[in-house]
């Protein structure tokens, strides 16, 4: 079977974005980040499923992976294995497959400085995680670690965390961002921010918007460059409580040259 090739080889037009997604452009790859927080109140929090700002370990650590359901285990009806993707102590990309053991924590072999994404890889007859699957450190109580670095919420089967750290050796170019918020009354103003934090630990605002039961969609005609080892984080804060908030941002990673 012949491997697929770019249509440009035949004199036809094929969008650059599609060629990147297909892996036809060397040293380029696309990243799409989604975040969701079902309950944003009057304190600024990360757009992820927890009512807090996401934590970062000071040094790379082995992570504990555990579930709030005993059915998320190798012989169970729920999630059996998950894949954790992140960065090591040098901000290089790493990935590990974890066999779950229900509420009992399983320690990763790799040490993670950042968790960028995680998803259910295999599952039993339920075809889904049966509980919330946590990635963190410290004492684990009923499947929840003392410090949470990411979470796969029940039935989402992947992380929905509005956060990403640019790997070493790459520059990320932000081409589009989206922020939306809704509430039952429709009367709450919600402010969203996209923050960038470099190795100097200064949090800079890359974009900011305010919505009221609506959506803000930003397309950067000239993509915003984000240096290697930089954290991107979407946050939200409401003028009143009980807001449902989501975000999305699209990045193109371009490998840095040494010229």
Least Cα distance to 115 among 87, 152, 92 occurs for: 87
Give residue 168's pLDDT: 97
Give residue 184's pLDDT: 83
Instruction: Quote the pTM value.
Output: 0.92
Would you say residue 258 has pLDDT above 80? Answer: no
Sorting pLDDT into bands at 50, 70 and 90, what band is 64?
very high
174-211: pLDDT as tens digits: 999 999 999 987 778 999 999 999 999 999 999 999 99
List, in order, residues 6 or more apart from 92 with CB less than 8 Å away.
167, 168, 169
Decide if 205 is inside a domain: yes
Counted domains in the chain: 2
Give residue 5's pLDDT: 64
Give residue 201's pLDDT: 92
What integer is the mean pLDDT of 199-224? Answer: 93
Are 175 and 148 part of one and the same domain? no
147-165: pLDDT as tens digits: 999 999 999 999 999 999 9
Domain end, chosen from 152, 181, 198, is at 152
Are 236 and 178 part of one and the same domain? yes
Would you say residue 256 has pLDDT above 80? Answer: yes
Give residue 11's pLDDT: 55
Domain end, chosen from 103, 120, 152, is at 152
Are 168 and 251 part of one and the same domain? yes
- Domain carrying residue 199: 27-53+163-255
Quote the mean pLDDT of the chain.
94
Give residue 3's pLDDT: 59
Domain end, chosen from 87, 121, 152, is at 152
Helix (H, G, I), strand (E, B) or coil at 25: coil
The residue ranges of DSSP E strands in 8-130, in sequence order, are 28-40, 45-46, 61-67, 79-87, 93-99, 106-112, 114-123
Decide if 7 is inside a domain: no
Are 148 and 168 part of one and the same domain? no
8-26: pLDDT as tens digits: 565 567 888 888 988 888 9
Would you say residue 235 has pLDDT above 90? Answer: yes
Would you say residue 107 has pLDDT above 80? Answer: yes
Decide if 179 is inside a domain: yes
Structural contact between residues 82 and 152, judged by C-beta atoms closer than 8 angstroms? yes
Are 67 and 49 part of one and the same domain? no
Are 76 and 128 part of one and the same domain? yes
Are 90 and 124 part of one and the same domain? yes
Give residue 13's pLDDT: 76
Are 49 and 125 part of one and the same domain? no
């Amino acid at each position: 079977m012949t491997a697929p090739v770019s249509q440009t080889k035949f004199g036809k037009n094929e969008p650059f974005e599609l060629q990147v997604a297909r892996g036809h452009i060397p040293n380029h790859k696309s990243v799409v980040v989604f975040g969701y927080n079902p309950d944003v109140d009057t304190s600024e929090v990360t757009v992820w499923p927890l009512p807090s700002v996401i934590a970062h370990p000071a040094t790379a650590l082995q992570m504990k992976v555990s579930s709030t359901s005993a059915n998320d285990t190798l012989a169970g009806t729920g999630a059996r294995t998950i894949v954790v993707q992140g960065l090591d102590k040098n901000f290089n990309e790493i990935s590990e497959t974890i066999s779950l053991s229900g509420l009992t924590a399983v320690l990763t072999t790799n040490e993670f400085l950042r968790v960028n994404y995680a998803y259910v890889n295999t599952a039993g007859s339920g075809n889904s995680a049966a509980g919330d699957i946590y990635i963190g450190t410290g004492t684990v109580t009923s499947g929840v670690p003392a410090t949470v670095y990411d979470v796969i919420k029940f039935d989402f089967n992947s992380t929905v965390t509005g956060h990403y750290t640019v790997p070493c050796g790459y520059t990320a170019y932000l081409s589009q961002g989206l922020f939306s918020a809704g509430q039952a009354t429709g009367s709450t103003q919600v402010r969203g921010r996209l923050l960038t934090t470099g190795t100097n630990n200064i949090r800079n605002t890359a974009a900011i918007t305010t919505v009221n039961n609506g959506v803000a969609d930003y397309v950067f005609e000239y993509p915003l460059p984000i240096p290697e080892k930089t954290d991107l984080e979407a946050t939200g804060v409401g003028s009143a409580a009980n807001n449902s908030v989501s975000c999305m941002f699209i990045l193109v990673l371009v490998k840095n040259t040494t010229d």
